[in-house]
């Protein structure tokens, strides 16, 4: 998302899902838009964001076995 928070700032985010596949959070980064295109920014940051989201999802699955949380 370009200029979402202020001019020249680019943001990219991915969802974090619970064990049932529901989106319960998001991980995102913001960076200076600079000379990089939106597509190039996504190529640069999405792999790390997706990896981090997968790690959080794995932790949520483990934690959910011991600390069940009811979502509205």
Q: Where are the domains of the chain?
A: 9-63
Condensed to tens digits (0 to 9), the pLDDT of residues 17-53 reads 988 888 999 999 998 888 889 899 999 999 999 999 9
pLDDT band at 57 (very low <50, low <70, confident <90, very high): very high
CA nearest to 31, candidates 56, 51, 48, 55: 48
pLDDT band at 12 (very low <50, low <70, confident <90, very high): very high
By CB atoms closer than 10 A (0-12, 13-18, 19+), residue 4 is exposed
Long-range contacts of 16-22 (CB under 8 A, 24+ apart): 16/53, 16/56, 16/57, 16/60, 17/57, 18/57, 18/60, 18/61, 18/64, 18/71, 19/60, 19/61, 19/64, 22/71
């Amino acid at each position: 998302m370009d200029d979402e928070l202020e001019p020249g700032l680019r943001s990219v985010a991915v969802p974090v899902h619970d064990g049932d596949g529901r989106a319960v959070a998001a991980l995102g980064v913001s960076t200076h838009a600079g000379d990089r295109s939106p597509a190039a920014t996504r190529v640069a940051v999405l792999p790390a964001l997706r990896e981090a989201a997968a790690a959080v999802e794995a932790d949520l699955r483990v934690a959910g076995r011991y600390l069940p949380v009811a979502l509205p």
